[in-house]
Structure 1
Amino acid sequence: MVDTSGIQDRFDRSSRGLTMNSSSSRIIDKKNKASVQTAVLDICRREVGHLSTRKFSHRRAASEDLVLRLDLARKLQKHSGCVNTVSFNAHGDIIISGSDDRRVVLWDWENGCIKLSFNSGHNNNIFQATIMPETDDRSIVTCAADGQVRHATILEYGEVETKLLGRHQGRAHKLANEPPSPHVFYTCGEDGLVQHFDLRTGEATELFTCQPVRGRTFTPVVHLNAIAIDPLNPNLFVVAGSDEFSRLYDIRRYRYDASAAFGKPVDHFCPEHLLGDENVGITGVAFSDQSELLVSYSEEFIYLFSNNMGWGSDINSVLDDHHLTVNSDSEMETDSKPGPQVFNGHRNCLTVKGVSFVGANEYVASGSDCGRMFIWKKKDSKLVRVVEADKQVVNCIQPHPHTLMLASCGIDWDVKIWTPTGLEKALPPTNINRLRPSTNHLMVSPRDMALELLALRSQRMSPERRPNEEGDMMEFIVTFDGDSSDSEDEAPATGYFHWPVQDL
């Protein structure tokens, strides 16, 4: 066996010599030298076997020095509409994107070239596109504003076969594949429905329709915007949408009891001060590799929950107790629950934004209405980066599966690639409260207007489902916002009215 102790000593002496400069330069460059020295030592220790490859990879991905050096590497330009979704394949060498133009594009992001572009078969804006793992990157699932859930199979010579798997009555914003299965995934939609798909059968299983808490009579269902599966326990998944709760479900309860009672969550997550707040909603959720739950609220902040911060399955009792406490004249001593971490500074009002963990799950990232990308340190919620990433709104930020590299997209018609190649480290964020002039508009979708009308009408209706009437209304909603372009390469209308705030 080779004795590496002498080599390590030389590396240590060499690293100590890096700091032997004049006192003035040492003060100026102290942090830069420390970060460079640490990186050099980590490489040396890995090469001589004193640092495992796994630990080395984690240290590099979690390095704040690299986060501060993230810079725009390239723009991937092909779409002719807003890019609503971007994600990586399992190896990290291919990016998939979907857009308002209804096309799916696979990119070799490192070289900036297109590997494949095809018509998804959707009739409206694509909201999510995912490459299923362990399929040689040939199996792709998508969901969209037309409510359809589709499967695309890449055949020989680049031919693509697409087919309809299922449908939601309203927009289907998100899907989540069960790790590491190449066959199983879930979807959620604004109809409140959660569906389970298995590509081996090609059939959809309607699991449940998400019901509002007691007393919320203004809407018959919770319009769902987000879904995520716990990577440590794929039996658990969370959904969230038009109220204050992230609801956790266990799929094993469905398998053991295929009754309608499966729709009851096993846990609810919500910051205590938002309990009973009917003016907030949730646009994005994500699980860390330690089962921590990240939740992004519209008109509010981002919160990080550990698995012991839930309110339990009986949320109506919790709300009753909370209501009594808030309205009690006497001071009541209550056992305070540990609160979630808070990440703030961004703006989430105009669009359905995602939220994600980056940098070996040591950082939190979100887009913003001001067109910038925000990155916080997870352990102390410190805002470390604010980056110009879109002319209007950033909606989606996705991390590379193995290294510190990001892809972002939003209202612009491109995908932006961010790598830690900056020669200088970024300065601390300043002026984060400014707002672009172009974002002083309310973006109101005709479909959202129709859904509001449907919610108001539901107050005068029985809570029982009326298939014909709701179906007619939903058909009107989908048709009203449909694009009339016959060309698959022509950019469809975005389907939004832009009303200046001062005119409202």
Structure 2
Amino acid sequence: MDAGLLGLLCSQGPAPKAEDVAGEKGEDAIELVDQVVCGLRVAKVFRENTETINSVDFNSGGDLMISAADDDQIIIYDCENGTIKRNLKSKKYGVSMIRFTHSRNTVIHGSTKIDDTIRYLSLYDNKYIRYFSGHTNKVTSLCMSATDDLFLSASLDKTLQLWDLRSPNCEGMMHLQGKPIAAFDPEGLIFAAGMNSECIKLYDLRSFDKGPFSSFRLPHEKYEWASLHFSPNGKQIMLTITGSSMIRIIDAFGGTPLHSMADHKPTQSTYSPQACYSPDSKYIFMGAEDGKIHVWNVETGHKVIILNGDHPRPLTCVQFNPKYMMMASACTDMSFWLPKAQTQSKIP
């Protein structure tokens, strides 16, 4: 394993497990506990973008991260060395909601220009492999299955569509109420659809055309739901809410509300808090409008710390690396975070 930016944080043995964050437990593994969370510091800042970074994603191995921005740039980062590997442009179609497929060399992304087609891009030669046409309005959710080549998309056209990377034709479509949001569970066996900011429906991927096998109705929000995510262990669902400084956590099996987490500051009506789970599902990191990151303990619902990375604008992306002890946060700047004791590791 390269001993660059993150090399000292990872075990030298077999592929690391998400529940251990830093790898299989051994001498070099770091467990994610309150002390480590409180010690996270910005180790590297990239200022390549001139406009807002709208989405980021890590590949499954955690050694690569990709970002998409409103300035039409697609940037690929080397997470082990803390460097930029490549900078691509999507001037014709724009780019949003970028997601790695199961290959480190291909991604899918939404469009911001011409139409609302989802595009399948080869990073190797910067050429499009396939187009997925069908949505007639902005795509609001894009999610790859963890187990195969299927992916979900939801749109302001009030449809949820299921696709296979190997075919340009939609595998299935559902018409939903209100603004739909959707996500696969970590095992890729079921998916959840949130609709009208008050109902979550769970579908079995093998028989989704028969309707949901479970539905949860929650108190109607004043503002729209912005996104829906399963926790990495599949036990919880997290909802972020547009125009609110709050996120909600519910039980993924029974729909029982578990926690409401807020930064207690007023929010612009168009801003949505950006949030993610740690890979072990123990913590939630929420990026706020003031550029800070609020961290909660999932089990207790108590706030652990507010991290200040000196972001000059509202945070638009917060993601924790699935394999390494590393976090990324972004507005127009991209910041890489590491535990305090490791910020002096080699950072080119």
What TM-score, normalized by structure 2, do the two folds share?
Answer: 0.81
Match of 2:287 in 1: 367
Match of 1:407 in 2: 328
> How many angstroms does 1:60 deviate by?
2.8
Distance in 1 of aligned mates of 2:248 and 2:26:
29
Listed as ranges, the matches of 1:21-40 within 5 Å are none
Supply the AA of the counterpart residue of 1:398: Q
Match of 1:439 in 2: none
Distance in 2 of aligned mates of 1:397 and 1:58:
25
Listed as ranges, the matches of 1:100-139 within 5 Å are 100-120=70-90, 123-124=93-94, 126-133=95-102, 135=103, 137-139=104-106
The question of whether the paired residues in 2 share the 8 Å contact of 1:127 and 1:174 is answered with no
The question of whether the paired residues in 2 share the 8 Å contact of 1:76 and 1:109 is answered with no
Distance in 2 of aligned mates of 1:282 and 1:354:
12
Give the unaligned 5+ runs of structure 2.
1-10, 12-19, 344-348
Distance in 1 of aligned mates of 2:111 and 2:193:
17
> How many angstroms does 1:58 deviate by?
12
Which of residues 304, 307, 317 is equivalent to 2:252? 307
Say whether residues 1:165 and 2:132 are aligned partners: yes
Supply the AA of the counterpart residue of 1:269: F
Distance in 2 of aligned mates of 1:352 and 1:148:
24
1:384 alignment partner, SS class: strand
Match of 2:157 in 1: 191
The question of whether the paired residues in 2 share the 8 Å contact of 1:346 and 1:368 is answered with no
Residue 123 to residue 374, structure 1, CA distance change in 2 (3 Å): same
Match of 1:281 in 2: 224
The question of whether the paired residues in 1 share the 8 Å contact of 2:56 and 2:65 is answered with yes
> How many angstroms does 1:85 deviate by?
0.7
Distance in 2 of aligned mates of 1:399 and 1:118:
23
Cα deviations by residue, 1:157-216 (Å, 9 ceiling, x for unpaired): xx21124222421111321111132x22111111111112212223333411212xxxxx
Distance in 1 of aligned mates of 2:248 and 2:263:
13
> How many angstroms does 1:282 deviate by?
1.0
Aligned sequence identity (%): 20
Distance in 2 of aligned mates of 1:205 and 1:58:
45
Match of 2:109 in 1: 142
Say whether residues 1:290 and 2:233 are aligned partners: yes
Distance in 1 of aligned mates of 2:227 and 2:305:
20
The question of whether the paired residues in 2 share the 8 Å contact of 1:406 and 1:419 is answered with yes
Residue 343 to residue 97, structure 1, CA distance change in 2 (3 Å): same
Residue 58 to residue 71, structure 1, CA distance change in 2 (3 Å): same
2:300 alignment partner, SS class: coil
Residue 91 to residue 57, structure 1, CA distance change in 2 (3 Å): farther
2:98 alignment partner, SS class: strand
Distance in 2 of aligned mates of 1:74 and 1:384:
23
Residue 242 to residue 307, structure 1, CA distance change in 2 (3 Å): closer
Which of residues 199, 207, 214 is equivalent to 1:253? 207
The question of whether the paired residues in 2 share the 8 Å contact of 1:376 and 1:382 is answered with yes
Relative contact order: is structure 1 or structure 2 higher (C-alpha 8 Å, sep ≥ 6)? 2
Supply the AA of the counterpart residue of 1:290: N
Give the unaligned 5+ runs of structure 1.
1-42, 44-50, 212-221, 311-337, 425-504
Distance in 2 of aligned mates of 1:57 and 1:283:
41
Distance in 2 of aligned mates of 1:290 and 1:396:
21
Instruction: Give 1 or 2 for the bigger CA radius of gyration.
Output: 1
Supply the AA of the counterpart residue of 2:232: D
Match of 2:59 in 1: 89
**1 or 2, which has the higher helix percentage?**
1
2:68 alignment partner, SS class: strand
The question of whether the paired residues in 1 share the 8 Å contact of 2:150 and 2:164 is answered with yes
The question of whether the paired residues in 2 share the 8 Å contact of 1:66 and 1:404 is answered with no
Residue 246 to residue 367, structure 1, CA distance change in 2 (3 Å): farther
The question of whether the paired residues in 2 share the 8 Å contact of 1:145 and 1:170 is answered with no
1:81 alignment partner, SS class: coil
Which of residues 420, 425, 430 is equivalent to 2:339? 420
Supply the AA of the counterpart residue of 1:304: I
Farther-moved stretch of structure 1 (68-77 vs 163-172): 163-172
> How many angstroms does 1:284 deviate by?
2.1
Distance in 2 of aligned mates of 1:57 and 1:127:
40
Cα deviations by residue, 1:250-301 (Å, 9 ceiling, x for unpaired): 22223xx5xxxx5x43333354xx2xx3623211221123322112223363
Listed as ranges, the matches of 1:446-465 within 5 Å are none
Match of 1:151 in 2: 120
The question of whether the paired residues in 2 share the 8 Å contact of 1:98 and 1:129 is answered with yes
Match of 1:345 in 2: 263
**1 or 2, which has the higher strand percentage?**
2
Distance in 2 of aligned mates of 1:61 and 1:143:
35
Residue 280 to residue 59, structure 1, CA distance change in 2 (3 Å): farther
Residue 61 to residue 120, structure 1, CA distance change in 2 (3 Å): farther
Match of 1:237 in 2: 191
> How many angstroms does 1:55 deviate by?
4.6
Task: State the superposition RMSD in angstroms.
Answer: 2.8
1:54 alignment partner, SS class: coil
